[in-house]
Structure 1
Amino acid sequence: MASTQASFHSNSLQETVRPLAAFPENIWSDRIAPFTPDKEEHEMYEREIEMLKAEVNSMLLATGKTMMERFDFIDKIERLGVSHHFDIEIENQLQEFFNVYTNFGEYSAYDLSSAALQFRLFRQHGFNVSCGIFDQFIDAEGKFKESLCYDTRGLLSLYEASHVRTHGDEILEEALAFTTTHLTSGGPHLDSTPAKQVKYALEQPLHKGIPRYEAWRYISIYEEDESHNKVLLRLAKLDYHLLQMSYKEDLCEITRWGKELESVSKFPYARSRFVECYFWAVGALYEPQYSLARMTTAKAGAVLTMIDDIYDAYGTLDELQILTSSVERWNSSGIWDSSGVDQLSDYIRTSYTTLLKFNKKLGEDLAKRQRTYAFDKYIDDWKNYMRTSFTQSRWFFTNKLPSFADYLSNGAITIGAILVSSAALLYMDCALEDVINWLSTNRKLMAAYSTHMRLMNDFGGHKFDKERGSGTALECYMKDYNVSEEEAARKFREMWQDTWKVMNEECLRPTPIPRDVLKMLLNITRVSETVYKHRIDGFTQPHAIEDHIRAMLVDFMSI
């Protein structure tokens, strides 16, 4: 599994050689100050927000606006991060527009920016609008008209729309190439603000960005626009600030919980990433009603990290066999097997006890809420995660590099994406049995979701893992297809573009589950885009995502 090895004392007199990793330290250990919201300030902001919401709602529903004016207003509401206040109104308007304006061939008066905005908003909300809306911008040779290359606003809108493409949307493949070429060449020659917008979009497409971070960015951009709506801007700032207050309160609870676990002394082999786990949870479910779901997801993620590092950077093969077998015997009705754990090292035994206590307490709470069906699925996902983690450990302890197909199939489980989404679902307000059954049968969506996470993780962490001697998906692919690392990396980029197309397809209507569940899965994927880009594992190397964490959780927005 790793070439870097060290000795740790187990509960025997002998020393055991272990595959330890030199993980970077926790960069937040002394930087999260205690926080208690000012009750009067909180109530004052809430009252103002309610008044501002009423004003914005009146603007949203006002008659006399053109359809494009309505689309533009909805887009601003969403990009500023306040759409959670107007979900029903936005849904009703888009449904009405979709019912009336499905034949885009009759509406060729739209400019490129307007057409692309309509298309993107419809697709992002699950309406399967046709790419035919772009036919008017295509020349006789089936290419985008060269005259469009001077329309920066239109190019940027089309570029953003190209990222909601699905399989078969050939015109959007052409759109992505066309817009990327012209925005890259023309961007540096623009004025300062448009140039910054183009540069950022090429780096981080809106559809693949973390919604809360994208709201933080857009608020400052929108404020620079002299024509901005002052009421809408004020609502966005106050809403962001108020949610940050809630996040900071929860973050203090997460870090306090982490300190109570005594992770530094009891789990010194593992990454201490409590802040990063909460950041991921906020990225997945930022809305105020999901506070408990966020906390559960963050804690489950922290425990998962601890267990993951046992398999990757501490346990011996014999110990991992005992650990995996113990979890296999779990019963969510109350039988939590501990047989054999006395043979484990102190650190692993303590980690296992922490895992048991966490899940047992969670199960008791969910039983009171009559959500045992969801908890049973969550426990099954833990078993599957441990089982596949042991398979992966066995490969690398025996110096076996599996086929790429075997590695990817197994790794789609060991990445923990399915387990984390199961934890998030436990406290979401939805018919869990229906949701779980649908997700369990929709193999395309869940396979694309978990495969994307595995590919991104291995791509980002390849250098670190390679230095330790651990096998990765890139190495398996290079071996199977006899290609260079660069060729394998290029293929990986193609594969995760393909997984995005699948996810975009599977989120189109009709679907029998709430859109919040689908958004949660997409948002977890979006966080991975940020955490693992630039061939850096930002979870293991947390300085890479420090700016995102500060913007979303630590530094208050000026209001």
Structure 2
Amino acid sequence: MEPRSSFEDEIPNQTFARRSANYQPSSWDYTSLHTLSNTLKEEVNDRLAEELMQEVRNQINDGIKLQRQLELIEAIDRLGLSSLFHEEIYRVLSVLSLNNYKEVILCGLRSTAICFQLLRRFGFQISEGIFDDFMDGDHNTFLPTLSDDLIGLLSLYNASYMAFPGEKKMESARSFAVKNMTRKNMQEILPGSIESAIGHALDLPLHRRMPWMEARMYIDVYELEDGMSPALLHLAKIHFNKVQSIHQKELNHAGSWWTRLDLGKTISFSRDRLIECFFYVVGIVHHPDYGFCREKLTQVGMLIATIDDVYDVYGSLEELELFTQIIDRWDIKGVVELPYYMKICFSALNDTINGVANHLYVDDRLEAIPYIKRVWADLFKSFLVEAKWHKKGYIPTLKEYLSNASISAAGHVILFLAYILLKCKITKETLQLLQDFPNIIRLPSLVFRLCNDLATSSVEQERGDVATSVQCYMKETGASEEEARMYISMLISDAWNDMNEEYSTCSKPQFPQRFIDASINLARMASFMYQHGDGFSAPSHQIKGSIKSLLLNSISNNLNERDM
């Protein structure tokens, strides 16, 4: 297709004032991506990594005290190494889940909280009643004698975010921990490292953090901790640099794809956020074995952002209705009716879907393609609903808004394709279940939407965009903006509790763990990216710094001077 000099002349009699969101251009130089180099002596590092892994295995298995064993497993998990010690971790946790936890409770509040958090994290059944010995006789409040146990309180606070719906003791645990960690007189006795850890947790609790970003940050923290295992620390550095090297090669390929596609220039009104998109995808799936998944999800993410801007910012209602109809029918011939900028969107989308399909076996391909096209059509329809609301100045009820917005957030497209790209078993029944928006997709999509709304609501209203959940709740109830934000935050917390229960008790028989992890990581990435503003559309220095530390800057590690 040859580019036209004007988009508007593709549809006759179209007099429509185009909007602009005035997005800033990308701050990254894509041409420099091919120069990324994480210099690794792979053969030497792989051999050393095996030696270090055996040392850590020995530490887990060599009859160390239970308290130390739990702390070591927690560190392994936070350093992003749990997949390397899967058998050892599950063996320890399986034994713990079968006893009555007396030995754990005798180790104190910190060990009990770590035990609770790890068991729920890895899908074991554990009751909040494990904390009864740390509460008063009625099990309503925690014992005042625990108020100065800062390390125990911090672990209790993090554990409280593993709560299921209706768990009052976990609500009490969180309130008690926050109250005592933030006491005024506590500031005078807090060691610097503990103060920093508490501040980090209060900013974003452990369970809601992006796991691979947490691994990078925790390497620096763990190096300074008492009782640090040098073998584990060195292994974490080697592993991080090795995975980063893989991610850098993938980012280089993504940059080449985006440059060739040239959407960023042709559709200049849209967001050019390739690096941020790849970073987002790494947060969802970071394991080195799933490079093709990251490649395609990055392409999907960029197309979603571009098409979202077509509906939110640029397209006329007539164009958008035609576009939606053609996508709904997946009408290749009908594409000729579209304006040029929509034609290239469709072409890029069709090529991406074909790229996913070509990766599948023939039978799986024939089974999956209609479902893939259907979830995209559902997304376009939800975009059109919001475009109509905007054109009419209509503010829906919160229920009406969320029913549509959970789809328009695009979490269902990302997770549906993640299921396929993670090489999960494809059956007609499973594809239908995923298309029907089950909780494993619905809940993280809801968190994704609401976190986005809290971060972008003010800017979008200034720009004249469609109302978010904040404005919908304000109009419906007469609440102030502050009250509306508090209510939306409560909905996010409720969704997290529902997710905790869903992933622990409901989804495991139906879905493989790698997909469950990707699902909850979508919600974690939303919590991270929209924590202090719109980290995707208008990335702050903090987000850019996180991208550099995770994707661009390797960790210095003098492996010839191991102090063990």
TM (norm. structure 1) is 0.92
Q: Is the CA contact 1:113–1:157 (under 8 Å) kept in the aligned structure 2?
A: yes
Asked if 1:239 corresponds to 2:239, the answer is yes
User: Residue 468 of structure 1 corresponds to which residue in structure 2?
Assistant: 463
Match of 1:348 in 2: 342
User: How many pairs align?
Assistant: 543
Question: What is residue 82 of structure 2 aligned with on the other side?
Answer: 83
Give the counterpart of 1:484 among 480, 485, 491.
480
CA distance, structure 2, for counterparts of residue 36 and residue 491 of structure 1: 44
Match of 2:199 in 1: 199
Answer whether contact 1:8 1:16 (CA < 8 A) is retained: no
Q: Percent of pairs identical after alignment?
A: 29
SS in 1 for 2:359: helix
Q: Is the 8 A contact 1:381 1:418 kept in 2?
A: yes
Question: 1:79-105 CA distances to partner (integer Å, 9 max, x unpaired)?
Answer: 111112122332233223212x2x236
1:128 match: secondary structure: coil
- Partners of 1:117 and 1:39 lie apart in 2 by 36
Deviation at 1:67, TM superposition (A): 3.1
Contact 2:405 2:449 in 1 (8 A): yes
Deviation, 1:552, is: 1.1
Change beyond 3 A, Cα 1:358–1:180:
same
Note if contact 1:326-1:338 (Cα within 8 Å) is conserved in structure 2: no
Task: Please give the per-residue CA displacement for 1:378-409, whole angstroms capped at 9, x wherever unaligned.
Answer: 22210110111111111111211122111110
Residue 326 of structure 1 aligns with which residue?
A: 326
* Counterpart residue type for residue 125 of structure 2: N
Shift of 1:438: 5.3
Q: Give the match for residue 360 of structure 2.
A: 366
User: Which residue of 2 is the match for residue 148 of structure 1?
Assistant: 146
Query: What residue is the counterpart of 1:73 in the other structure?
Result: 72
Q: Which residue of 2 aligns with 1:3?
A: none
Residue 125 of structure 1 corresponds to 122
Aligned 8 A contact 1:453 1:525 in 2: yes
- Asked if structure 2 preserves the Cα contact closer than 8 Å seen for 1:317 and 1:393, the reply is yes
Residue in structure 1 matched with residue 562 of structure 2 by the alignment: none
**d(CA) in 2 for partners of 1:15 and 1:215?**
53
Structure 1 residue 276: Cα displacement: 1.2
Q: Is 1:213–1:548's contact at 8 Å kept on the other side of the alignment?
A: yes
- 1:305/1:556 CA distance change after superposition, 3 Å: same
Q: Deviations over 1:335-365 (max 9, x none)?
A: x5241x3343322222222212222333233
Change (3 A) 1:31 1:128: farther
Cα distance, 1:40–1:529 mapped onto 2, change above 3 Å: closer
Paired amino acid for 1:114: S
TM-score by length of structure 2 reads 0.91
Q: CA deviation at 1:255?
A: 1.1
Q: How far did 1:61 drift?
A: 3.0
- Quote how far apart the aligned CAs of 1:367 are: 4.4
1:138 aligns with 2:135: yes
* CA-CA distance at 1:441 after TM superposition: 6.3
Letter in 2 for 1:430: C
Compared CA separation, residues 257 and 321, structure 1 to 2 (3 A): same
**Structure 1 CA distance, aligned partners of 2:368 and 2:419?**
8
- CA 37–548 in structure 1, closer or farther in 2 if over 3 Å, else same: closer
Q: Deviations over 1:232-291 (max 9, x none)?
A: 110000100111111111111111111111123211111011111111111011111111
1:175 counterpart SS class: helix
- Contact 2:418–2:515, Cα closer than 8 Å, also in 1: no
Whether the 8 Å CA contact 2:104–2:115 is kept in 1: the answer is no
Structure 1 counterpart of 2:518? 520
Deviates more, 1:242-251 or 1:363-372: 363-372
Q: CA deviation at 1:171?
A: 0.6
1:229 aligns with 2:229: yes
Aligned CA distance change for structure 1 residues 444 and 8 (closer, same or farther; 3 Å) = same
Unaligned runs of 5+ in 2: 1-5, 558-564
Q: How does 1:22-37 map to 2 (within 5 A)?
A: 22-30=22-30, 32-35=32-35
Q: 2:106 is aligned with what amino acid?
A: A
1:45 equivalent to 2:45? Answer yes
Taking the aligned partners of 1:69 and 1:106, their CA distance within structure 2 comes to 13
How far residue 40 of structure 1 moved from its aligned partner, in angstroms, is: 6.8
- CA RMSD after TM alignment: 2.2
Q: CA deviation at 1:9?
A: 4.1
1:504 aligns with 2:469: no
Is residue 458 of structure 1 aligned with residue 453 of structure 2? yes
**In 2, Cα distance between the equivalents of 1:163 and 1:316?**
44
Instruction: Kindly indicate whether residue 51 of structure 2 is the aligned counterpart of residue 21 of structure 1.
Output: no
Q: Secondary structure at the match of 2:236?
A: helix
Paired position in structure 2 for 1:415:
409
CA shift at 1:24, angstroms? 1.9
Q: Judge conservation of contact 2:284–2:525 (CA < 8 Å) in 1.
A: yes
Match of 2:111 among 109, 114, 120: 114
**Residue 37 of structure 1, CA deviation:** 5.5
The 1-side partners of 2:435 and 2:350 are apart by: 25
1:430 aligns with 2:424: yes
Unmatched runs of 5 consecutive residues or more in structure 1: 1-6, 331-335
Question: In the TM superposition, what is the alpha-carbon distance from 1:227 to its structure 2 partner?
Answer: 2.8
Q: CA, structure 1 residues 328+227, in 2 after alignment: closer, same or farther (shift >3 Å)? A: same
**Cα offset for 1:555?**
1.5
Report the equivalent of 1:4: none
Partner residue of 1:210?
A: 210
- Deviates most, 300-309 or 428-437: 428-437
SS in 2 for 1:190: coil
Specify the alignment match of 2:560 in structure 1. none
Q: Which moved more, 1:516-525 or 1:351-360?
A: 351-360
Residues 169-178 or 342-351, more deviating: 342-351
What residue number does 1:333 align with? none
Which position in structure 2 is the counterpart of 1:533? 531
- What SS does structure 1 have at the residue aligned with 2:64? coil
Question: 2:36 & 2:543 partners in 1: Cα distance?
Answer: 25
